[in-house]
Amino acid sequence: MAPKTYYQARKRKSNTALWVAIAIVVLAIAAFGAYTLIANQPKPTKVLLETTAGNIIIELRTDKPITTSNFINLVKAGKYDGTTFHRIVAGFMIQGGQVNGQVDQIKDEIGSNNRNTPYTIAMAKTSQPNSATSQFFINVVDNGQKYSQSGFDSTYTVFGKVIEGKDVVDAIANAPATENPYIPGEISVPVNPVVVTKASILP
């Protein structure tokens, strides 16, 4: 009986070690797969806006390919160089991107995670769907919540966020402004417009 009991115990230990080894291999494969998936995900593009008020760095979203690609192409083409933040409203947003020449309209990319929270960047447009071109605005408050009844979040495509230079955005938004001739009653034309001297893609 003793030898038989000994070998049975040894067999059980052997089986346990085998299952442990299999579990380790499975976990290693799963970890490698997760790492590969993360490593292969596209990295967000960062854009530097050098302005006369200071630098702003924007990280673009990867889940808004049409809007993000349009913005990147305009930056690479130098379209934003020399443009101004032509509309500023304290407690609302700063708007820029009015370029020379015609820019094709792009489709809206609203999606389920489209929130105009503070320091996000979104495309400006007319009241018509799919009418965004080059103009953009940077929110300085939660405009999605502030203007929820007008469907702000379901209208303006958010495609990035400011990761550096929030103080610059605030300074632009709170600069002196005069009445906008195109929007009666709105004080939004900057007295001393801030110029985007250079827009570039960061490495």
| Run of H or E residues at 188 | strand 187-190
pLDDT value, residue 21: 64
Structural contact between residues 166 and 174, judged by C-beta atoms closer than 8 angstroms: no
pLDDT value, residue 24: 76
pLDDT value, residue 17: 66
User: Could you tell me which residues come within 8 angstroms of residue 140 by beta carbon, excluding any fewer than 6 positions away?
Assistant: 90, 91, 92, 93, 94, 118, 119, 169, 170, 173
pLDDT value, residue 22: 76
Q: Taking the chain (203 residues) in consecutive chunks of 10 residues, what is each chunk's mean pLDDT?
A: 57 65 67 54 93 98 98 98 98 97 97 96 97 98 97 98 98 98 96 98 97
pLDDT value, residue 30: 58
pLDDT value, residue 115: 98
The widest CA-to-CA distance across the chain, in whole angstroms, is: 103
